[in-house]
Structure 1
Amino acid sequence: WIFGLPLLNTEEINMRCIYILWIIFLKLVCCELEVRIADGILRGQVLQSRDGRTYYSFTGIPYAKPPIGELRFKAPEPVEPWNGILDASSKSNKICIQKN
């Protein structure tokens, strides 16, 4: 014991490191997904509904330029394509719930 903590042998330390790395890997790989659309790449999430069904979630995807200035009260104009990955996985993104 050192400072009230038990000493671990090398094998136990290695197994704990492997376990932690595996958890991190699963979190990074299994819960996010990326999809390429015409305007760029979207990052979404794989989530579960209250009744246990798996679904793909993408929030905050822009479908048109903001209706400000000259665009006010006009027909929507397509959004400009973006570079990189648009994070559509954030819970803080605005959503509009849709039912199939």
Structure 2
Amino acid sequence: MTEKTTSDTIMFQPKRKLRVPFGLIMFAIIGALYWYFSQPRFSVDEINRIKTDIKLKFEERKGVHVIDIDLIKENDRKLMGLVKLKIDGLDEEITKSCSARMGDDSRYIWECQ
């Protein structure tokens, strides 16, 4: 009696590709865009308001004159810049660094040092 051995061949089937419905992809993209654009950020009007606030605050002091204010967006919620001051009795200009930050509630705070 002869024994026949058969080898079991294991067939590997290729894995099925995961197909994500087109609607789900579009929903995710639209949701991400909505989230990005709904985040608080500095507008041009707010930047101009901050410049006016800085100018008024420094010029409250007698003999202090604001020559220039330059603010640049570091990112959507942070401004960095300089204010140049002329003080009566001094020949040179004084430069102070300024920054402004916006919170999640769209309120901002600025400071110059």
Larger RCO: Structure 1 or Structure 2 (Cα < 8 Å, ≥ 6 residues apart)? 1
Bigger fraction of residues in strand: 2
Bigger fraction of residues in helix: 2
TM over 0.5: no
TM range (shorter): 0.3 to 0.5
TM-score normalized by structure 1?
0.38
